[in-house]
Amino acid sequence: MATQQVEAGAAGHGAEPRGKRGEDGQATYLIAIAEALWEEMERDERVFMLGEDIGVYGGAFKVTEGFIERFGPERVMDTPIAEETIVGMSVGAAMEGLRPVAEFQYADFMSSGFDEITTVLSRYHYRAGVPLPVVLRGPSGGGVRASSFHSINPEPWYAYAGGIKIICPAFPSDAKGLLKSAIRDDNPSMFLEHKWIYRRIKEQVSEDPEFLVPIGTADVKREGSDVSIITYGAMVHKALEAAEALAQRGISAEIVDLRTVYPLDEETILRSIEKTSRALVLYESYRFLGIGTEVAAVIAEKAFEHLDAPVVRLAPPNVPVPFSPPLEDAFLPQIADIEAAVDRLAGW
Amino acid sequence: MTSIQMPQLGETIVEGTILKWLKREGDSVERDEPLFEISTDKVDTEVPSPVAGTVRKILVEEGTTVPVGTALMEIDEAGAASGAASGDGASGDAASSPASGAAPPAGATADVSAGAASSVGSSAAPPPAAPAPAAAPAPASAAAPAATAVATVPDRGPRSQILSPLVRRLAKEHDLDLAQIPGTGSGGRITKADVMAVISSGAAAPAMAPAQPMPAPSAGIGDEVVPVSHIRRAIAEHMLASTQGTARAWTMVEVNVDHLVKLRERVKDAFQERYGIKITYLPLVVRATVDALLEYPDVNGRLDGENIVRHRFVNMGIAVSYDAGLIVPVVKGADGMNTIGVARSIADLAARARAHQLTPDEVQGATFTITNPGPYGSIASVPIINQPNVGILSLDAIVKRPVVIDDAIAIRSMVNLSMSWDHRVIDGELATRFLARVKQNLESWDFAEDLGV
């Protein structure tokens, strides 16, 4: 599909995202996401955004702050509090050739549009031969004391729908490169921004407008030889801290960041297992039927003869995300839990 | 027809060697009559017949090592109605049922009546019911599965039998004999690292593969070449595993046993007359040691993964040498016996060990072990721990020595008691307190009454 350029130089007239990089040029995860949106809005005028309070208010987490001034209310569209309508409008707009990017205040609320997402968005291309280049974005995940309505990891529900690419980046660069890829992709995708990472993690991020990260590729964030930790989202950062502590004790953990949970990059996972022969699958969606369940099954099925120990899963129990801080801490895998799980695995 | 299979003599035994057939094809056998002798990693024994009848077929040659459960022979039961399935041995029957399409109808084990051995089982398309020549030698390999599993690993710990998929694959790819690789993982498991260490050391050639013909050893003219026996191999593996798998330390005390020597001189004839066995120092030492084990239960324990198991009872292993090598029969429940009971038990076990008549159960379950090289003259020994025990006590020779008693030099009968112990489980203080307790018992107890003479 041809790309249509908006007039050049628009960004040079003082209009830019409100959120800025730091003096050192580093971008937070949130800024990197805003940059990806901004660049793709500038690059292709078919791209537009819709969601609750994304205009003047700048979005629940201020990702889209400053956008309405630059791109106007027709491309930064405030909607009623009706998620089913947001998805339905996105589907309709995509049918007509636009490239909608819908924001949800919390990924929890996507389930109000569940039917539109799972039966329409995921299957329409199959049924009608019409691709739907829709991106649904929303903040997911726990660890921020936001309780059970604002903390979930909905990726397994939508991965199960089958026709939607599910992206869960852990780093600013990956977030920027993957969101740009998702907007350019003719297939529907769900872009889950872990809210614990938003302002915590920053790094140098490419300013090249053509910087893209391919969807469906995992990335080894830390090389190791003894145990593979297969994870994604906020758990990547906990795993990296745990790996540092484990290294002090002589255990070398390799960390595979899935980045995209559907489709799964089996090749990278299996390559890591061939190297370490031991797998800890760490994930923040529920333990039962969460994303890691599939990862564990793939490893058991395809890397059986490379395993020197059983595949171990570490994930929250299937209960609501607690509000009480001690309970939420107990619910989510913590660094000490990861260390303990790796110790058990290494000593198996 | 009853199929006789390689029995499992102990839960960790995976294979056995047919030493000798005591019956030939066509011989009649009584129920419980010995059929053959086998040798396993734990014990050599005779296997009795579960039924009375006639030996139809012998399937495995003498000297062959086969996995547990392998069919070894077929016996036609006396008086069994033709065609009736025998009561047990269902799996064996199935193994010998004919290939589909062959002559006998369903119900099929169908021992064709009479004495001449009919080949029912050979699956490779024989003409229907073609009688085999009665004198044909039994094909030895017929029943031995071609794929002897990679998984024949000696029992070196509670998890030593667990072989991960990776370990199995590496062993296969590099043609490694896992029985030769000590496991350093938890519970004695062979880990990836253990296998990789062997591969990278270049020693990836099978050394003493079970049931394989020995590679021609390079021997000079006049050298005698003796194949490694089953028992020798089991001892080698057990000793090596212990050396590599324990943190062995050693402590010795010397004990004044002058009064025991005098006691024995005084009562030995009466004892022999009354109990029919000789009294030696060993039962006295066992009694003194049992008391110390009960006082210091860590010494009477074993390391099991993350736990130390302290046994509530004392099963005393006694090292006995015999013509085949060394075996450790166990005085079960030694803590419930007086000195006479211990003496009787040791005499009985030692005699049956030398006659190859121990049952597998009698060589398992020791919680502590005593070795007794004293009669051969050694005055100090450093034994290897009999895993999974924590310690092994060595009773060396009693010798007369000048010793200082109350600032005067005197001649006394002295003995060195030493113990190899596993520093993973206990420390030097405990080991020494334990030995001191044994010493104190031997020096202070009056055994005269206990001996009943």
A157 in Cβ contact with A14 (< 8 Å): no
Candidate from A304, A347, A348 with C-beta closest to B165: A304
- pLDDT of the residue at B179: 85
- pLDDT of the residue at A181: 98
Sign, CA torsion A272/A275/A281/A284: negative
Query: Tens of pLDDT along A57-103?
Result: 999 999 999 999 999 999 999 999 999 999 999 999 999 999 999 99
> Which residues lie closer than 8 Å to B100 by C-beta, 6 or more apart?
none
Among residues B227, B282, B182, B255, the alpha carbon closest in space to that of B439 is found at B255
Q: Which of helix, strand or coil describes residue B323?
A: coil
ipTM over 0.90: no
Whether A252 and chain B come into contact, CB under 8 Å, resolves to: no
User: How is residue A24 written in tokens?
Assistant: 């050192």
How far, in Å, CA of A269 to CA of A255, rounded? Answer: 10
* Chain A: residue whose CA lies nearest to B173: A305
* Chain B: residue whose CA lies nearest to A311: B164
Q: Using the beta-carbon criterion (under 8 Å), do A305 and B165 form an inter-chain contact?
A: yes
| pLDDT at residue A20 tops 50 | yes
Domain with CATH 3.40.50.970 in chain A: 13-204
Q: Given this chain, do its domains B1-101+108-147 and B247-451 carry the same CATH topology?
A: no
Query: Tens of pLDDT along A121-147?
Result: 999 999 999 999 999 999 999 999 999
Residue B427 is among the residues annotated as catalytic for this protein: yes
Any idea where the domains of chain B sit in the sequence?
1-101+108-147, 149-208, 247-451
- pLDDT of the residue at B203: 61
Mean pLDDT over each residue of chain A, to the nearest integer: 93
List average pLDDT for each run of 10 residues in chain B, which is 453 residues long: 82 77 90 87 81 90 86 84 43 40 40 38 42 44 42 74 89 86 86 88 53 56 80 87 92 95 93 92 96 95 89 93 88 94 94 87 92 92 93 96 93 96 95 96 90 80
Work out the average pLDDT over A239-247: 97
Query: Which member of A150, A194, A237, A306 is catalytic?
Result: A150
Class of the domain covering B1-101+108-147: mainly beta
Class of the domain covering B247-451: alpha beta
How far, in Å, CA of B120 to CA of B131, rounded? Answer: 9
* Chain B: residue whose CA lies nearest to A301: B165
Task: For domain A219-346, give the fold.
Answer: Rossmann fold (3.40.50)
DSSP A324: S
Q: Using the beta-carbon criterion (under 8 Å), do A306 and B189 form an inter-chain contact?
A: no
What is the nearest CA distance from B283 to chain A, expressed in angstroms?
A: 42
**Residue for token digits 């203080």?**
B429
Q: Using the beta-carbon criterion (under 8 Å), do A347 and B186 form an inter-chain contact?
A: yes
Mutation for A interface: B166, B196, B306, most A CBs within 10 A:
B166
- All residues of chain B having their beta carbon less than 8 Å from the beta carbon of residue A348 are 185-186, 189
- pLDDT of the residue at B156: 75
CATH architecture observed for domain A13-204: 3-Layer(aba) Sandwich (3.40)
**Residue for token digits 């110390």?**
B292
Domain with CATH 3.40.50.920 in chain A: 219-346
- All residues of chain A having their beta carbon less than 8 Å from the beta carbon of residue B185 are 347-348
For Cα atoms A158, A163, A166, give the angle at the middle one, nearest 5 degrees: 50
| pLDDT at residue A298 tops 80 | yes
How far, in Å, CA of B193 to CA of A312, rounded? Answer: 19
**Residue for token digits 């991965």?**
A159
A208 in Cβ contact with A190 (< 8 Å): no
The pairing of strands A165-167 and B408-422 is unpaired
Query: Which member of B174, B423, B446, B450 is catalytic?
Result: B423
Q: Using the beta-carbon criterion (under 8 Å), do A306 and B169 form an inter-chain contact?
A: yes
How far, in Å, CA of A138 to CA of A129, rounded? Answer: 27
- pLDDT of the residue at B184: 86
Q: Scan residues 293-322 of A and list those with Cβ closer than 8 Å to B.
A: 304-309
